[in-house]
Structures are given as C-alpha cells and as structure tokens.
Amino acid sequence: MSSLKEVKSRINSVKSTRKITSAMKMVASVKLHKVETMAENMLPYQFKLDEMLGKFLTSENSITSPYIEKRPVKKLALILFSSNTSFCGAFNSNVTKSFLKEIANYSKLGKENIIIYPIGKKIEYEVKKLGYEPAFDSTFSSEFFQNLMDKPNAENAILFSKFLQEKFLKKEIDKIRVVFHHFKSTNNHRLISKDFLPINIYEFKDFKSKNDSKSNIDYIIEPSNIVMLERLVDMVLTQKFVTYMVDSSASEHSARIMSMQIATDNADELIDDLGILYNKTRQNIITAELLDIAGASNL
C-alpha cells in the first residue's frame, strides 16, 4: 500500500493539473466569445451576399463566368485549417484524416501537382511529415498562416482569398479544395471538405429557393451582367474565406473548452479517489499503531 506521503504528493500533483486545465478552459471561453462576436457581426452580411448571388444565378439571364468554369484537374490546391496548439481533443487529428482522404482521391495527379496551404502549425507539421512541401513564399509564410488561426484577421484572409482567385483565373490551379470545421455551438462543430473554386452554382440556387418564396424580380443590371457577376462573386468568395477562418477558430476554441472540461472533471474524480485512499491509508496506520499499543500493554 502507498505511504501517506506518496498519496498526498499525488493529490497535490493532480490539484495542480486541475488548476491548469481549468485556467485553459477559461482562456478558451474568452477567445471563443471574441470569435463568436466576430461571426455574429459578419453573418448578416454573408447571408445577404449569398441571397443576392442566388437571385442573380436563378434569373433568366445566361450566366458565364470564369469562376464557375469546370475544367480537367491538372493542378489541385488544398487549404487545410488546423490549430497551432494541442489540447483540443480530436480537432487536429480529424483534419489530418480528411487531408489523407483528399490526397488519396487525387493521388493520380502526383505530389508535384498538389499545392498545399496549411493554415495552422499542427497540420503544417503533418503535411511535412507525409513528405509534402507547403506552398510558402515571402508573402504567405508559415507565420502568416499561423497568425490567421491565433488572431483571426479579415484583411489577411481577404488578401489570401484574392491570391487564390487570381491563381484560379490564370489557370495555374484548376481546383481549390478547403478543409475546415464548421462551428454550430460549443458542443457541436463539424469537419467539412468542399470546393472553394470553381463555384458550385447549385449551392446558391438552393440557398435562394430556401430563403426567397417570392417570384423572381426583373432587375436592371448596370453596367452589365458579366461585370456585376464578377464583382459579386469576388465579394462572396472573399467573405466565404473569412467565414472558413472564423468557423475554424471558433471550433478550435470550443473543442478546447470541451477537452479541458473533461480533463478537469477527470481530475476531480481522481482527487476524490485519492482522498478516499489517503483516508483509508491513514486509518490503517492508526489501527496498526493501536494494535501495537494494545499488544504491548498485554505483555
């Protein structure tokens, strides 16, 4: 049986760990609140942009745009959102699993034709571990992408989104896929893999049909359908990329809250169990001493 000193030492150690996990949970809660506020301010704007594009795409005007052009995939870009730190449950491992699925689906392209932009230190490490070289440069460096997750910044997200759009329009990339967590609530976030470019017009047509029961309105579009569509699509794409960033950041913090809550609860249970063990050990020692005294008095 363990000595009183050993049990007491274990209790103090678990209590110290509990303080850390509890503090980490509170820090994650504060960060989540900030990101949630950012998302709440952004959602009405995104909703209206999606609605406008949905109405535009469901009009009787013929739609042609390089943003919706589907062409044979010779060059693929993968955008992967993870966290920079651990202690957030399966958040990062799920991103890695999704990355492996994407690589398997496009393995016929070869490593040289798969361009990877890892946003977050954890997925950057996994990408390098699997033998892929992240597409960093002087502007979009490892630090640039890590900062996107540590301190979500709309300006930097828009800058990178426009860079991706330019690559697609110049046909340097034929398809852009994004892997991120969609945040719904503290207890609910879901990993999503989807196309960023080319645009899936049916996604916006469905959006329009679900959110607009009125009949189509005959709009007068200035200066032209093409110019209007390009401007609108550019705004929608940049806004969506900001949404991916905010969604991923909020999901990371919510995952860390849940993980630290579980760790704190486990520490509480262990402290209770060790407390019982301490009392039993102490009782056994006292009983043994009393027996020794009683035995000595009978001599």
Q: Which of 45-49, 128-132, 140-144, 257-261 has the lowest mean pLDDT?
A: 45-49
Q: Are 119 and 139 in contact (CB under 8 A)?
A: no
pTM of the shown model: 0.85
**Span 24-66, pLDDT tens digits:** 999 999 999 988 888 888 888 888 888 877 777 666 556 677 8
Q: Is residue 15 part of a domain?
A: no
Q: Is residue 291 part of a domain?
A: no
Q: Which domain CATH number covers 120?
A: 3.40.1380.10
**Span 208-217, pLDDT tens digits:** 555 555 545 5
Mean pLDDT value of segment 198-213: 64
* The predicted structure's pLDDT at residue 215: 45
87 Cβ contact partners less than 8 Å away, ≥ 6 residues apart: 24, 256, 259, 260
Q: Is residue 297 part of a domain?
A: no
pLDDT band per the 50, 70, 90 thresholds, residue 251 = very high
Q: Is residue 21 part of a domain?
A: no
Q: Is residue 106 part of a domain?
A: yes
Residue closest to 175 by CA, chosen among 64, 68, 17: 68
Report the distance separating Cα 65 and Cα 44, nearest Å.
26
Number of domains in the chain: 1
pLDDT band per the 50, 70, 90 thresholds, residue 272 = very high
**Span 61-120, pLDDT tens digits:** 566 778 888 889 999 999 999 999 989 989 999 999 999 999 999 989 988 999 999 999
Residue closest to 79 by CA, chosen among 115, 36, 29, 113: 115
Q: Is residue 299 part of a domain?
A: no
Residue 254 scores a pLDDT above 80 = yes
Q: Is residue 18 part of a domain?
A: no
Q: Is residue 238 part of a domain?
A: yes
Instruction: Say what percent of the chain tops pLDDT 70.
Output: 88
Q: Are 87 and 259 in contact (CB under 8 A)?
A: yes
Domain extent at residue 64: 28-257
* The predicted structure's pLDDT at residue 270: 93
* The predicted structure's pLDDT at residue 80: 96
Burial code of 174-191, b = ≥16 C-beta within 10 A, e = fewer? bbbbbbbbbbeebeebeb
